[in-house]
Amino acid sequence: MDYIKIRFGDDPDTIESKFEKVIEDIFRPSPINPMFISSECMWSPQMDIYETPDEIVILAEIAGVQKEDLDIEINSKAVKIYGHRYQIPRVENTTYRLAEIQYGKFERILFLPTPIDTDKVSASFLDGFLQIRLLKLRMDITYKIPIIDG
């Protein structure tokens, strides 16, 4: 069944339209035939984010991605993980009955629930999993500021 998308309003970049795009991307069926997949398609790796009293931990499942093809950017409010997974050469004279593994560029931007200390971040990569550990900024610490003349 095909759905018709109806959009009200003049500004296509409103919050509502961005929300609609996210919902559409979640429920859009992905192609299962490799001939429909372009080499430049984007995919999103699956991730877990959990929080302890002192840190936020991000675990990304990115099997088949080489460490050299992986980049991480951070600021105090968000983490951007992006890279590229290259396609394994296809076997000639075969008929694929299922092709779910996604190849090409990927990117995820994760907004953090609390500010983090960007100087105290560590990342490790093992067995297809990327783990990023982010130390939370302590918001309950108070500093005494000297007052100068003048």
Identify the band that residue 58 occupies on the pLDDT scale cut at 50, 70 and 90: very high
CATH number for 39-88+101-138: choose from 3.40.50.1820, 2.60.40.790, 3.40.50.11270, 3.40.50.300.
Answer: 2.60.40.790
Return the C-alpha torsion angle 128, 72, 41, 86, nearest 10: -40
Res 42: pLDDT: 86
Domain boundaries, the chain: 39-88+101-138
Identify the band that residue 20 occupies on the pLDDT scale cut at 50, 70 and 90: low
Q: What is the mean pLDDT of residues 33-43?
A: 56
pLDDT tens for 107-146 read 999 999 999 998 899 999 999 999 999 999 887 777 788 8
Q: What is the mean pLDDT of residues 51-59?
A: 95
Res 13: pLDDT: 52
Query: Cα separation of 43 and 111, whole Å?
Result: 18
Distances (CA, A) of 79 to 28, 58, 75, 144: 25, 9, 7, 31
Length of the chain: 150
DSSP run (H or E) holding 83: strand 78-85
Res 60: pLDDT: 96
- In the numeric block, which tokens belong to residue 62? 């990115």
**b/e code 58-81 from CB counts within 10 Å (16+ = b):** bebebeebeeeebeeebeeeebeb
* Most confident by average pLDDT, 6-10, 17-21, 38-42, 85-89: 85-89
Res 7: pLDDT: 47
Q: Could you tell me which residue, 40 or 55, shows the higher pLDDT?
A: 55
